[in-house]
A and B are shown apart, each in its own frame.
Chain A
Amino acid sequence: MKWPLILAGILLLAAPAAASGDHPAGVGRDQTLAARPKAKTIAELVARYDSESCIECHEEAHEQWSESAHSRSLFGTGRTALTFRTAILNGLMTWKASGVKELKDVRVEHLMGCAKCHLPQLADATDDVAREIVLDIDAWRTAYLNEDDDKADELEETLSSLNINCLVCHNRNAITHKWTDGYPRTDTVYGLSSDGDTEHEDDVFTRKEASPIMGESIFCGQCHGEGPNFELENPTQCATAYGSYLFAYIPEGGHRTCQQCHMEESGLGHNIQSYRAQEMSDKAVDMEVTTQAVVWRDVSTMRPKATVDIELTNQAGHGIPDG
């Protein structure tokens, strides 16, 4: 009567052995740019995702991208960089368990609430890079306030060299389902289609492949998110546009992708913009206004009034405002 229990014991022992076989999860993970030894300086991190060689053949896309917020995702107009600083001063340094008492205590994990989207490749750098970024932002602020333009310009240039460039989208973040589609390779750029040809004219990225998600909304949803990032020790949310897309736009019968509206129909290509571009704002909201005069009678008092009826229809793929 005891043998079923013995069999169960054997199965439990066998399970770990199967999981530690020749093919652990993440086949190919170590062949990615992200898996290389972590960058120790801003310069090293910039060099790892250096997209300069793309410009020669993809000049138009580069020019478009240069006008976009992606090209200055960390520095922005200065306000984005200062918000990193505010998050440290008003957030991390006030929280009892963050481990941050001053700027130099900041580590990569402390910045990922912002950097997950503003600089996802920061995950491929050491804590020294996180500190360098934070101290550079602080030094830029000081130089700006002291009207030390040369120093401010120099630091702005350094901070602006960190951005969402060609290789972040067309390599590092080009594949979301890595077990299904494989990890992004260090010799490959990923686009909408490869035209069946895998040869790519570049000394380093000698191959090209189609990314299965490059034209899908989920690609943008990696950053333009859903809500609290629960994978973080201290969840936070900034952009929630993809959540709105999934749970409000699609249920209303929407079927366009982010790329269709923001890149194709807008004609803006890699200059991906939102409401401040007229191409986007013109088509995002319809406003219908009807007015009439009515002489209102309140008991014995006649009071003329104007009635104004306004209908606003959001044609975008997410709530407005959102991010």
Chain B
Amino acid sequence: MPVPQRMGRGDRMGRGPYEKSGFLQDNSLPPLRTVKTSYDIFFPVEETEKGDRTIRTYPSDTMDIDVKLWYLPFGTKDDDAFLWREEKHTVSFDNSGS
């Protein structure tokens, strides 16, 4: 989101509308442009020690991924958040061990 500069000077963000003048940073979605982001999410792993070796096992070879685009116009997510988009995906990997 646009980060308003306090009184148009320095590195401090202005919060109240009476003190906003300028921007320090702008992470908003720019109009008519596509913003790409990527995330890596490792599958949960359980590690057990067996002698000198660490044995890794995966409780599940399937992961449910819930992608949500939230807008927080004011305060925290508990205050007045707006769920803009949501998509659910499921991915799985070959857990046969080969």
Identify the A interface with B (CB < 8 A).
83, 86-87, 90-92, 113-114, 227-228, 234-238, 240, 244-245, 248-249, 252-254, 275-276, 281, 285, 287, 289, 291-296, 301-322
Instruction: Tell me whether B31 and A289 are in contact (CB under 8 A).
Output: no
| Chain A minimum-CB-distance residue to B21 | A228
Say yes or no: B21 contacts A314, CB within 8 Å.
no
Instruction: Answer whether A321 and B16 are a contact pair too, CB < 8 Å, given A228-B22, A293-B91.
Output: no
Kindly report which residue of chain B lies nearest to residue A110, judged by CB atoms.
Answer: B18
Residues in B whose Cβ lies below 8 Å from that of A91 = 16, 18-19
| CB pair A303 B45 closer than 8 Å | yes
Known: A113-B17, A236-B18, A310-B39. 13 other contacts (CB 8 A): A91-B16, A91-B19, A236-B17, A275-B82, A293-B63, A305-B41, A305-B43, A307-B40, A307-B41, A310-B67, A311-B34, A313-B29, A320-B28
Instruction: Determine if A254 and B32 form an interchain contact, defined as CB atoms under 8 angstroms apart.
Output: yes
- Chain B's interface size range is 35 or more
Could you tell me the dominant secondary structure of chain B's interface residues?
strand
Question: Which residues of the partner chain B approach A275 to less than 8 Å between Cβ atoms?
Answer: 71, 82, 84
CB 8 Å contact bits of B41-75 with A (1 = contact, 0 = none): 11101000000000010100101010101010100
B30 touching A293, Cβ below 8 Å: no
- Complex: chain A residue closest to B68, CB-CB: A287
Minimum CB–CB distance for B50 against chain A, Å: 15
Q: Are B18 and A114 in contact (CB under 8 A)?
A: yes
Q: Does B26 contact A (CB under 8 A)?
A: yes
- In angstroms, Cα B29 to Cα A322, docked, is 9
**Which residues of the other chain, A, contact B85 by a CB distance below 8 angstroms?**
285, 287
B41 touching A312, Cβ below 8 Å: no
- Closest chain B CB from A274 CB (angstroms): 10
Closest Cβ–Cβ distance, residue B22 to chain A (whole Å): 7
B8 with A306: CB separation less than 8 A: no
Please list 14 pairs of residues, one from A and one from B, whose beta carbons are closer than 8 Å in the complex, sorted by A's number. Answer: A83-B16, A236-B19, A248-B30, A254-B32, A285-B29, A287-B67, A287-B85, A304-B95, A308-B67, A310-B38, A310-B67, A314-B30, A320-B71, A321-B71
Known contacts A238-B20, A305-B42: A276-B63 contact under CB 8 Å:
no
Q: Which of A240, A249, A302, A313 contacts B34 (CB 8 A)?
A: A313
The yes or no answer to B94 lying at the interface (CB within 8 A) is yes
A308: nearest residue on chain B (CB-CB)? B39
The reply to whether B2 and A307 form a contact with Cβ atoms under 8 Å apart is no
